[in-house]
A and B are shown apart, each in its own frame.
Chain A
Amino acid sequence: MASQSRRTPLERIEYILIVSTLLLLTVFTLQPLLNLLALSFTEPSRVAGFSGLSIIPDGFSLEVWSLLLQHPNVQRGLFNSIWMTATSVTIGVLGTALMAWGLSRPGLPGRRFIFIAVLVTIVFEPGIIPDYFLMKRLGLLNTPWAVIMYKVVSAWYLIILVRFFEEIPKELLEAAELDGANPFQTFFLVVLPLAKSALATIALFYLVLHWNEFFRSMIYLNDQTKWPLQVVLRQFVIEGDRVAIVGAANASGNIGAAQINIRALKAGMIFITILPILAIYPLILKFFTKGTMSGALKG
């Protein structure tokens, strides 16, 4: 854009003010997270005096992390979160791609009707109670499937994929057709490989959605052993159920548990929960940013 060749002193001051405002916002965003991360590594004896403003651990200890990672509730939560998310994402990506492929074919009888039926689900959600009775009727109460199957095909992501599939050059499909491919072969051997980047984007969307899901797990899973990490975190941090973490840790023969400050444990627990998000954050940035920049609110 416009070059900034001639800078008056006033413009320099303005620029410094702009940068400082944004840096302040960055600090406001990151400081609370970095503080908790530092807290989780702080020497247990010094946790009590650890300031909420500091972002450097006071001493260094892995005790909180090793305690949490050995804790049966956390291990189970981690295991449940991983398999439930993996299952939802796999079913979701495959189901969405298959449905989007059909919907993207011009001339498919009933295409318009299906489209409208899908759009209706975006604007009308009947609510928690009918959903609860549906799960009850399907016999899914207290099973992970009540959680896994939620938004397994999301209307938004479906529409994104339909748009993508509509852009695939028809010559490629005709070529496959001439080579004798049936529609299934065309889809799996030609379309899916072409749609790799779109599928990766959708997979990331679903990954974030399902990893962060807690409400359904909270209402549908009574059995603690089935809880994903978010619900374990919620019980401990939001509901302040100390017994849940410390008590079980003591019972499991981990003597250090009682001495460890609850604050540090909570901080570590928060970080275990967001670790996967942080690990794939560069990927998230790349795909989400591109998707939002190009596809924002076109309609």
Chain B
Amino acid sequence: MVAKDGQKVAAVLSDGNVPGSREGLHERVLDKRSGAASAQDWRAKLRQWWPYYAMMAPGLLFFFIWHYVPIWEAKMAFEQVRIIPPNIWVGLKNFQQLFASPIFYQVLANTLIISAMKIAFVFPVPIIVALLLNEIRNGKLRGTIQSAIYLPHFLSWVVIAGVFIALLSPTDGAVGQIQQAMGFGSPSNYLTNPGSIRWVLVISEIWRSAGWDSLLYLAAIFAIDPQLYEAAEIDGASRWQKIWHVTIPGIVPTIATLFILNMGLFLSADLNQVINFQNDVNASTIDILDTYVYRLGLSTGEYALATAAGLFKAVIGMVLIVTSHLVSKRLTGKGVW
């Protein structure tokens, strides 16, 4: 979407000068040869475009301050922070210290395990939901189910954690009561049990996103050519044969894209979720890179070390996202942007 602007007619709002057109481009290249002409060209351009830059200024300023100044601040990862500035440049010492600490590997392992569990158990659910929803021909029924299951997507993790705390309460939570009624013994507290807390993350993630994410697959299903279904019907295909031979092949590109993009987020096990489910007892199994950085930096005051850990995550994360975007684009023609 970035590249095609040159061809689009730029006559809009221009006062005679057509900067985007081929002629304009050609003139500009020629103008590079003489300094005076180029300065004139530059001034004419400014006269034409300054209102747009003025309108963009607040946004540009915001992006610069909020997203680019922190990149500069991140140089702290290579420094020894002193109470009285300036900090001392120590190169990769913080990273060495980080990679030498066993906690870092535990946190990294937790992050990878939680991400892997989410890909294995959360990722397929919306696909199944979309396939089921597509089988419902009654529009009203389908609409009602959809508006109900989309709702949790719009709730904050604070609210969702609150809901799950009530749901999993050993004394009066729904889960415990069902468990008792079915004779599975007395309920334990899943939220404080290091063995079960990861499953709580998985299930709460399903609760929050399964419905909404099915929308993407549903959109892909609706884009399938109806003639394919008609042909299958004429051939006498059953419901399952149609799903298996028409619907699923039709949404494989979407599945592939979303799978690859999910892989790009492998080092982000969702800070907002984890921080609300974390407590002193379960921290050992769900302490992820983000919560580690948060604790290390803002609670313990190990700023340089925390920044190094954050930068490690950011760089690996960026590589993963860009790689998955490129892979996705190559394989399916769809990417993140």
Q: A interface vs B, CB < 8 Å?
A: 1-2, 4, 11, 14-15, 18-19, 21-23, 25-26, 28-33, 35-36, 39, 50-53, 95-96, 98-99, 101-103, 105-109, 111-112, 114-134, 137-138, 149-150, 152-153, 158-159, 162-163, 166, 170, 173-174, 177, 182-184, 186-187, 208, 211-215, 219, 230-231, 233-234, 237-238, 263, 266-267, 269-270, 273-274, 277, 281, 284-285, 288-289, 292-294, 296-299
Residues of B within 8 A of A95 (CB): 58-59, 62
- Chain A, residue nearest B172 (CB): A52
- A2 CA / B215 CA spacing, docked (Å): 21
Q: B interface vs A, CB < 8 Å?
A: 1-3, 5-6, 8-14, 18-21, 24, 45, 49, 51-53, 55-56, 58-60, 62-63, 65-71, 73-74, 76, 129, 132-133, 135-137, 141, 145-152, 154-159, 161-167, 169, 172-178, 207, 210-211, 215-216, 218-220, 222, 226, 229-230, 233, 238-239, 242, 254, 257-258, 271-272, 275-276, 290, 293-294, 297-298, 303, 306-307, 310-311, 313-314, 317-318, 321-322, 329, 334-337
- A126 CA / B329 CA spacing, docked (Å): 25
Could you tell me the dominant secondary structure of chain A's interface residues?
helix
**CB–CB A297/B334 < 8 A:** yes
- Chain B, residue nearest A172 (CB): B12
**CB–CB B158/A11 < 8 A:** no
A and B contact pairs by CB, cutoff 8 A, 7 listed? A32-B166, A107-B14, A112-B3, A129-B306, A134-B65, A149-B62, A284-B154
- A108 CA / B19 CA spacing, docked (Å): 8
Most B C-beta atoms less than 10 A away, residue of A132, A219, A266: A132
- Chain B, residue nearest A297 (CB): B334
Residues of A within 8 A of B11 (CB): 170, 174
**CB–CB B169/A187 < 8 A:** no
**CB–CB B151/A29 < 8 A:** yes
- A266 CA / B164 CA spacing, docked (Å): 12
Taking the nearest CB of chain B, how far is it from the CB of A67, in angstroms? 18
**CB–CB B207/A29 < 8 A:** yes
- Chain B, residue nearest A19 (CB): B136
